[in-house]
Amino acid sequence: MRRDEMIEGIMRYAGISKANVDRFYEGLAALARRELLRNDEFVLPGLGALRVRRRKARTARNPRTGAPVRVPAKKVVRFRTYAPLDEALNGPGRKPAQPEPDEGGARLPMDQPEPHE
């Protein structure tokens, strides 16, 4: 959904002018940025929370050449839904599907390079 579609939908649902919804959206975005910078978390009641996570530095491979590439550590924002929304999406008592481990053993997290023997 694009920003203008979201503003239009809120405007129709709440019966508020487009200008007021636009100001609300700008304020919400500014508040989210400020809280993520200050507290590493921004909660959207009833939906979930945006949280800052830190990715470790890692070595990846250039898919074209196969050459190793150093990827520096960085911060990323993740959204985690609350249980009622998870249940609405996946059914009661069901968790999102987890990837099956390989028959040879457990999977490594994507951040870790393959072990060398």
Q: With 0.85 as the threshold, say if the pTM is over it.
A: no
**82 in helix, strand or coil?**
coil
Per-position pLDDT tens, the chain of length 117 = 999 999 999 999 999 999 999 999 999 999 999 999 999 999 999 899 999 999 999 999 999 999 999 999 999 999 999 988 888 888 887 665 555 554 444 444 444 444 444
- In tens, the pLDDT along 73-86 reads 999 999 999 988 88
SS3 63: coil
Distance CA 86, CA 106 (A): 26
Q: Is the backbone of residue 91 left (phi > 0), alpha (psi -120 to 50) or beta?
A: left
Three-class DSSP category at 104 = coil
Res 57: pLDDT: 96
Give the chain's mean pLDDT.
Answer: 84
Cα separations in angstroms, 111 against 3, 49, 70? 32, 23, 12
